[in-house]
Amino acid sequence: MNNLLIRNARIASMQSGSEKHFGLLEETDIRVTDGIIQEIGSNLSAQPNETVIEANGDWCLPGFVDCHTHLVYGGDRSEEFAQRLDGVSYEEISRRGGGIKSSVRATRNSSAEKLITQTLRRARRLREEGVTTLEIKSGYGLDEDTELKMLTVAGAVADKLDISVIKTYLGAHALPPDNDLRADEYIDFVCQVMIPKVAKEKLADAVDVFCETVGFSLKQTRRVFEAARDAGLPVKGHVEQLSDSKGAVLACEFQALSVDHIEYLQESDVATLAAAGTVAVLLPGAYYYLKETQKPPVQALREAGVDMAVATDMNPGTSPVASLLTCANMASLFFGLTVEEALRGITINGARALGLHDRGEIATGKRADLTLWDMPSPASLIYEINGYRPHTIIAGGKHVA
């Protein structure tokens, strides 16, 4: 592994607890040894085995973390999108075999190789903006073989792009469309067959549930969370996206890593998140595509000291957005995050939403996931849409782009 010395950078460390804007550091040099930030200082001299990168005053930020995506899926739903704009109803599209059913069908029918190719295209878009850690969920197979295939494909993407991929089993995404299993019977299969299997084979790092009136009930969600706990896997939830179903409160009872969407979270339930140390994940891409008007209770979350993260929710139905920076911009404009909060949402708090404490900030002892930018200020990234790309991306100490 390369040892690196980055010299003369302006370091926006995003360190938690820093009083400075963007966790700005006085020091300008970063020494990376064996993939870890070993030293941060000024006028550091290069060791014989180090590659020197001259930053020439450019900004250095932590690699971004996209903590909620559905990046692996087969097919394409652009035709359906066009039909909807032509005035065709959701019900009619569903009757024609569209919607999530079409993604499930296409994902089942795609080979692993084909899924890898399709997923790599999307993952590259995210990486070129500086994403070095990516969460990917299953949930478009809803049968044993396809769910396992999706998780394996997610792992392959990490190897191909030299980034970190955190895998989440989301069997409880929807009911399988092609059989007459009742929801309770399908949840039996998720809890008794799939969760023990993905845990044993280390195919997933966490378990997720779509808890909603149109998804799974609170009772069914509890069963999935119990099975995950028994298998030693942490949980998270798609909760309070369309209604106040109290999924977030239930998730906190299981010390969930994160509760995601939460447009309908009641202010009176925010204290529960704070007490559980659960991260609130905001997904403005889905809010935008669904033309939602209900906003997450950001001010109450802020006042309670709940960490807020921002993610793309990249998926073929409700958030086909392959740009984490665009989502950070939307989180500021739609939900009222400050620029600082939006950037922390895709760095340190994104990492926390995945239970990762070794990244998301530039500090000694952390993973060397670093990006270099020629731009006026870190605020430029939230201010301009599609304005900047990092010219250098380092993931785990490796110069990947």
Query: From CA 344, how far away is CA 12, in angstroms rounded?
Result: 11
Question: Residue 135, interface with Zn ion (CB under 5 A)?
Answer: no
Q: In which order are the strands placed within the sheet that holds 3-7?
A: 36-41, 29-33, 3-7, 50-54
**Structure tokens, 158:** 């990490």
Q: Which stretch binds Zn ion (CB under 5 A): 49-57, 128-136, 153-161, 313-321?
A: 313-321
* Least distance (Å) between residue 31 CB and Zn ion: 38
CA angle 119, 125, 126 (to 5 degrees): 90
Select 70 or 366, whichever has its Cβ closest to Zn ion: 70
Q: Which stretch binds Zn ion (CB under 5 A): 98-106, 173-181, 194-202, 306-314?
A: 306-314
* Least distance (Å) between residue 70 CB and Zn ion: 6
* Least distance (Å) between residue 315 CB and Zn ion: 6
* Least distance (Å) between residue 238 CB and Zn ion: 5
Q: Mask: binding to Zn ion, 222-251, rule CB under 5 A, as x and -?
A: ------------------------------
Query: From CA 390, how far away is CA 16, in angstroms rounded?
Result: 23
**Structure tokens, 97:** 């075999």
Select 75 or 316, whichever has its Cβ closest to Zn ion: 316
Q: Which stretch binds Zn ion (CB under 5 A): 216-224, 240-248, 262-270, 311-319?
A: 311-319
* Count of other CB atoms within 10 angstroms of residue 229: 15
**Structure tokens, 203:** 């195919």
* Least distance (Å) between residue 208 CB and Zn ion: 8
Which phi and psi (to 5°) does residue 36 adopt? Answer: -120, 145
With contacts defined by CB under 5 A, how many residues of the chain interact with Zn ion?
Answer: 1
Residues 6 or more apart whose CB falls under 8 angstroms from that of 200 comprise 231
Q: Which stretch binds Zn ion (CB under 5 A): 251-259, 309-317, 326-334, 386-394?
A: 309-317
CA angle 296, 299, 304 (to 5 degrees): 105
Out of 313, 341, 361, 369, point to the residue binding Zn ion (CB under 5 A): 313
Select 55 or 71, whichever has its Cβ closest to Zn ion: 71
* Least distance (Å) between residue 377 CB and Zn ion: 31
The tokens 């995950």 sit on which residue?
Answer: 228
| DSSP-H helix ranges across 190-322 | 195-200, 218-231, 247-253, 270-276, 284-289, 298-304
Q: Which stretch binds Zn ion (CB under 5 A): 43-51, 116-124, 263-271, 312-320?
A: 312-320
Which residue lies nearest Zn ion, judged by its C-beta? Answer: 313
Contact 321, 268 (CB under 8 A): no
**Quick one: DSSP state of residue 12?**
B
Select 81 or 383, whichever has its Cβ closest to Zn ion: 81
* Least distance (Å) between residue 172 CB and Zn ion: 12
Contact set with Zn ion (CB under 5 A): 313
